[in-house]
Amino acid sequence: MEENIQCPNCGGYKVENKGDGSYSYKGCAIGAALLLAIPTFGFSLVLALLALFIPDQKPREDGSIEYLCELCGYKWFHTPGTPWPAINVRPELIREGSEKLKQEGEERRRRMRD
């Protein structure tokens, strides 16, 4: 999560940076191959070799970054260097969202205790 990113939909600051759309399948597949290497050496060798031929997911052409607001669920794209979208501050959405996050956090703690 990044600091000081404000959601244009509710004005909250609990915004997650989902990145520019790029993704390395290669790193992922090689990681999986290493994990599998112990029980299934032959299979993971094939997987690692195959991984070398998988092209990585390229970042979006416009270089936009995807953001997701954890408070209101609003999702948007922003291209660095362009103006930030106009922000509507909606305290009720922020309040509802932080209530929800708090409940989810409590539930997670409860589940961990069980």
How many angstroms separate the Cα of 79 from the Cα of each of 38, 60, 66?
43, 10, 9
Q: Which value, in Å, is the radius of gyration of the alpha carbons in the chain?
A: 20
Does 9 participate in binding Zn ion (rule CB under 5 A)? yes
Q: Is 71 helix (H, G, I), strand (E, B) or coil?
A: coil
DSSP 17: E
Does 7 participate in binding Zn ion (rule CB under 5 A)? yes
Does 65 participate in binding Zn ion (rule CB under 5 A)? no
Q: Which one, 12 or 33, has the nearer CB to Zn ion? A: 12
From CA 58, how far away is CA 75, in angstroms rounded?
20
Which range binds Zn ion by CB under 5 A, 12-20, 30-38, 49-57, 98-106?
12-20
Exactly one of 29, 33, 51, 69 binds Zn ion (CB under 5 A); which one? 69
Within 72-111, the residues that bind Zn ion by CB under 5 A are 72, 74
- In the structure encoding, which two tokens stand for residue 90, read together? 């909606």
- In the structure encoding, which two tokens stand for residue 31, read together? 């990681």
Q: Which one, 60 or 76, has the nearer CB to Zn ion? A: 76
* Residues in contact with Zn ion by the rule CB under 5 A: 7, 9-10, 12, 69, 71-72, 74
